[in-house]
């Protein structure tokens, strides 16, 4: 998606170790117009998968998931990274490594919001190693739901996440695919 690529080129910062900082428009400060355009694009790409719910991870996946939900008219559930007192004792919980936090994080969803037989579309900010998305898939599968598609704003091809997700056998869409961040230069896949 050219609009997202242009914004990454203008405002994205390569921090080394495969880290791309997009805090000024995705991860800390959110550009609502850009996220709306991304949500519309995801809605077009996933219009025919039959999703009944969108699942993402707290916090950076919420904006693109929410705008996708608006355009598909679907509810959005996000996996929490800590369990609030309002959540029931019995939850769906898994662990996933966080590249930016440098440690394992919990992903927790209440059974109230992810029920049996849902058709789940996963939307997240990054597809890198694929581990967070695999964690979200484990949560959905634990609930008796089925994954019907995966969307990522930004895919770092060089981290191999798409291959890690191949066993899910679903449509995977990324709006900006990065081939390399070598030498502090962002190189997109054509």
Under a CB-based contact definition with an 8 Å cutoff, are residues 70 and 48 in contact? no
| Strand intervals (E) in the chain | 13-16, 19-21, 53-57, 76-79, 92-98, 103-109, 119-127, 146-156, 171-180, 187-188
The predicted structure's pLDDT at residue 137: 97
Arithmetic mean of pLDDT, 31-59: 97
**Domains of the chain: total:** 1
pTM above 0.75, yes or no: yes
Q: Please name the residues in contact with 38: beta carbons below 8 A apart, sequence gap of 6 or more.
A: 1, 4, 64, 67, 68, 153, 175
Q: Please name the residues in contact with 84: beta carbons below 8 A apart, sequence gap of 6 or more.
A: none
CATH classification at residue 155: 3.40.50.2020
Structural domain boundaries, residue 139: 2-188
pLDDT digits (tens, 9 = 90+) for 138-177: 999 999 999 999 999 999 999 999 999 999 999 999 999 9
The 8-class DSSP code of residue 156 comes to: E
The predicted structure's pLDDT at residue 76: 98
- CA pair distance 129, 18, nearest whole angstrom: 11
């Amino acid at each position: 998606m050219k609009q997202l690529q242009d914004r990454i080129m203008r405002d994205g910062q390569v921090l080394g170790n495969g880290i791309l900082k997009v805090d000024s428009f995705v991860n800390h400060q959110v550009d609502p117009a850009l996220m709306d355009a991304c949500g519309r694009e995801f809605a077009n790409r996933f219009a025919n998968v039959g999703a009944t719910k969108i699942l993402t991870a707290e916090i950076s996946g919420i904006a693109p998931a929410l705008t996708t939900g608006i355009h598909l008219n679907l509810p959005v559930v996000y996996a929490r990274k800590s369990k609030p007192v309002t959540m029931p004792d019995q939850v769906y919980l898994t662990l996933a490594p966080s590249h930016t936090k440098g440690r394992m994080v919990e992903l927790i969803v209440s059974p109230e919001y992810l029920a049996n037989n849902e058709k789940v579309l996963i939307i997240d900010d990054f597809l890198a190693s694929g581990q967070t998305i695999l964690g979200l898939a484990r949560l959905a599968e634990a609930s008796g739901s089925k994954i019907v598609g995966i969307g990522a704003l930004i895919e770092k091809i060089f981290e191999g996440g798409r291959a890690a997700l191949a066993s899910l056998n679903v449509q995977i869409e990324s709006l900006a695919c990065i081939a390399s961040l070598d030498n502090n230069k962002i190189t997109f896949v054509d």
